[in-house]
Amino acid sequence: MNIKFKNFIWGVITLSVISSCDISDNKDVNPADSFLRIYDSHQFDHEIRPVDVTQTADNGYLFLGNYRRDDVDFLGTYISSVDEEGHFIRNTYLRDNNVHPVGKFLVLGGEHYFISMDAVSLQAYLNQVDDSARVVSTIGIGTTYPMYAENDGEDQFVLLSYSSVNRTTVLSLVNADGSITSQSAFGIGAGQEVEEPIIDHFTRTGRELPFFAGRSVDGTYYANGFYNYTLSLLFTDLSDNTPSGVIQGQLDQGGISSLLSLSGDNYAVARFNYGDQYANAIATLNTSGISSSTDIEGNPMLEWAYDEKVKMTTMTLGNADYIIIATTTKNQQIALHFYDNTGAYIAVDYLGFSSPYQLGAIQVTSDNGLAILGSTQVAGKFQRLCLFKKSESELNDLVQ
């Protein structure tokens, strides 16, 4: 396998370099199956960081990212599209008050959407985006400070947000037209010091916290946000403002960093506690009482970098099901950890070389491969997006 560097001119005077793993010399291999591409930008001073990736109907990809803006207190919204081989098509930098994009990409009625925020009113936005990375429509939602969104069926989604007026973590079910059908709000506690890490998360003057939400396979909704002074994992049926289960963290220094519902009360879990990181591919959680995240057993992940994103997914390879837990290592590589359906550790794959790499998101592709969106440093200075595509055959070889 040869590494080739291909140069493209974007704009008039800016030279952009895209590196890729070129397998075109092998006539039996589809170049869309496996590659690495790094995407530069004519906006040389922008540090672009990954938020999410999704696949389009023609097997290309949409990227959602953010970048630092000088004119507002929040990160700007960046969207780009590439074809099935990872070749750049188009990007969009939103320059208006549409800021702070959050994962995940939503698929509603066969169309792609994402959630962002108004920089002035702090209202959540639902944005429809086409396959060429153009925003088609923007609808306001009756919540503020959006934190995370996840599909809940074909026509609605789960939205996690924060109300600074009521000092509550808010979990909502929202339709494709932006209307809220159900909502619960959970108090974070009194005192400015409780709200401070939340606001710092939005302005990126502090740590990026692992806010997320979704629905378990048994129908219970969950939200990872502040409750009663602590970053906590909440379980609820959305019938009232009292969670049915709470897994408490340690203020903002400990808690759950990622979660994947498997069956019943069984979840894949990653957690952190004052700099230490732990992972458990199959853990049985207490979803109907009060417990602590430190009660969850897990293997110490000594190579994981602190405060980096942890992402999870499941996929079938051959006749076996696997759980994948991905994150960034201390030596700035992307690590993919594979577990079987009993929770036994099977293999690890490290992505990235030469330059530092950071994980953004992972997605199982239509050809049963993996798309891994991340970021890296171009010329040792500029944070840029990158896309790893792993083929099904590569993944099969890894877990055999």
249-268 pLDDT, tens digit per residue, is: 999 999 999 999 999 999 99
Q: Please say if the pLDDT value at position 179 is more than 80.
A: yes
What is the total count of domains within the chain?
A: 1
pLDDT in tens, 56-67: 999 999 999 999
Q: Are 357 and 300 in contact (CB under 8 A)?
A: no
pLDDT in tens, 112-125: 999 999 999 999 99
Provide CB contacts within 8 A for 70, sequence distance 6+.
Answer: none
Q: What pTM was computed for the model?
A: 0.92
Domain CATH code at residue 91? 2.130.10.10
Q: Are strands 245-248 and 14-22 parallel, antiparallel or unpaired?
A: unpaired
Query: Could you list the residue range(s) of the whole structural domain that residue 323 is in?
Result: 2-399
Provide CB contacts within 8 A for 146, sequence distance 6+.
Answer: 100, 102, 115, 116, 117, 124, 125, 159, 160, 161
Rounded to an integer, the average pLDDT of 174-198 is 95
pLDDT in tens, 88-105: 999 999 999 999 999 999
Which residues are 233's β-sheet partners?
224, 247
Residue type for position 22: D
Question: For residue 14, what pLDDT band results from cuts at 50, 70 and 90?
Answer: very low
Provide CB contacts within 8 A for 303, sequence distance 6+.
Answer: 329, 330, 331, 335
pLDDT in tens, 364-399: 999 999 999 999 988 777 899 999 999 999 999 999
CA distance 138 to 96: 12
